[in-house]
Structure 1
């Protein structure tokens, strides 16, 4: 049944929803379930208002024809990307991360592949700082996301105080600067923490990624749930050559990579490492670098 103007601002037919599903899958690999129809309507209705277009059909026609430009493709993708996150989400991962990096003497390289508004990469940075008891550990963190809006928010590093509510007070005091005056109610990440992180736009489905080398740690949490198995398999196959021999790959609580990739084995709760065969290949790659 279509949404008619009697009940909605814009007509929204089943065929419009199917077109959106096809476009976002092709663009970002996201598989939208049937139950997401209302979400799609509410989020894309904002784009129709912003562009002054009066129907979904016309909007999608113009988008596909390139008449709205690359900026609107970006806005379309941003609108349909879910960005639920929090500091130290899935807390059991961070002691494992600290243990893993603590004994390393060379520069530690970490990739956070779905950084959203920044809570995850900053949580990673705080963990590394705590592991070495310094605000300037020998660590480089690359934080990427497909959504340019959330990346800008993350790079800014300013959060409302309620985002820090579940954080230990001493941790909040060490890593955040509390706002005063017209900035009251906000906290900014300390510059030393921000300096550990490079934020980049990256689409996991893109033909090439703006990253190189091998990583000690890759975070890819609560991302794969939006992809079908074929897309998951393709992405994981591209992660493997980017992992150092002893690298850890952190997944989300509802994600299981064992049924998708034979290159990985379980190290702990939703934490993976290379299997013996691929570890050997990674050692040869590391020796050449």
Structure 2
């Protein structure tokens, strides 16, 4: 018998439909969609059926199979984007207090870093702010920050650097004044990050399951709250690839709910969800 939620749905969404969604997402992006996410999958994808004026999910899957461009919309609908400026602030403090002094001590004036799964851009812009607030002068330092995501829609938003006022409400006023331009007229209620931050960043689409056109070695990688969506074998492969990209003693930052204990041979814990490359 159909559940109450199934009977009340605008479109029929069976277990087989969910399995199709789950398998497509895993095959393309390596993301594991748990069984309890069936309602979420329906709610996210039903918007596409309405926009495409399709009658049922079978028609949608046929459309998906025959229109590769729709796959980006499919991925965009099913990926989650939760972010904030200076989220898990101790990570940024570690960069300012430990990584930058180490680079300077080695007589190097070069920084290479990657924000993997950058979402709407708050993370890489926070990285750029951290470097400049630490006294790094782009006219003297060679700074390159790469920011990537599998969601093309959020990447476009991140690249624009435009945010509503509520996204910066928890930042100190002096930081807001230094790094953001306030909108006026039709743009009132919004801010834009200043060009000197955008100049340090390059935003690119990247599926972590495919090739990484990234030049190493990197000083550090932010891959926070990304690996929780992958199974253990996929996590292990990703960590091996990140290990290879990092310079000797380079750093990997992960999310607060992620742990690399089973990969201790490649990384050592040096701070709260902060790991250093070994070997």
TM-score (norm 1): 0.90
Aligned-pair CA distance for 1:274: 1.3
Aligned to 1:272: 275
Cα deviation, 1:5-56, whole Å, max 9, x if unaligned, reads 8511111111101111111011111111111111101110011112222111
Determine which of 236, 251, 254 is the counterpart of 2:254. 251
User: Once structures 1 and 2 are overlaid, which stretch shifts more, 130-139 or 92-101?
Assistant: 130-139
Determine which of 218, 222, 234 is the counterpart of 2:221. 218
Structure 1 contact 236–261 (Cα < 8 Å) conserved: no
Cα deviation, 1:45-73, whole Å, max 9, x if unaligned, reads 01111222211122123323xx1x22101
Change (3 A) 1:111 1:180: same
Determine which of 120, 125, 128 is the counterpart of 2:123. 120
User: Once structures 1 and 2 are overlaid, which stretch shifts more, 32-41 or 224-233?
Assistant: 32-41
Structure 1 residue matching 2:80: 3-state secondary structure: coil
Structure 2 contact 253–274 (Cα < 8 Å) conserved: yes
Alignment of 1:202-217 (within 5 A): 202-206=206-210, 208-217=211-220
Aligned-pair CA distance for 1:134: 4.6
Structure 1 contact 111–215 (Cα < 8 Å) conserved: yes
- Structure 1 residues without counterparts, runs of 5 or longer: 279-289
Structure 2 residue matching 1:70: 3-state secondary structure: coil
Determine which of 78, 81, 84 is the counterpart of 1:83. 81
Q: Distance in 1 between matches of 2:195 and 2:71?
A: 33
- Structure 2 residues without counterparts, runs of 5 or longer: none
Structure 1 contact 108–138 (Cα < 8 Å) conserved: yes
Structure 2 residue matching 1:27: 3-state secondary structure: helix
Please say if 1:7 is aligned against 2:5: no
Q: Distance in 2 between matches of 1:107 and 1:92?
A: 22
Structure 1 contact 2–12 (Cα < 8 Å) conserved: no
Aligned-pair CA distance for 1:262: 2.5
Q: Distance in 2 between matches of 1:40 and 1:71?
A: 19
Aligned to 1:196: 200
Structure 2 residue matching 1:139: 3-state secondary structure: strand
Q: Distance in 2 between matches of 1:78 and 1:228?
A: 20
Structure 1 residue matching 2:147: 3-state secondary structure: strand
Aligned-pair CA distance for 1:155: 0.3
Please say if 1:141 is aligned against 2:139: no
Please say if 1:154 is aligned against 2:158: yes
Aligned to 2:42: 41
Change (3 A) 1:108 1:133: closer
Q: Distance in 1 between matches of 2:243 and 2:177?
A: 37
Structure 1 contact 215–242 (Cα < 8 Å) conserved: yes
Alignment of 1:233-252 (within 5 A): 233-252=236-255
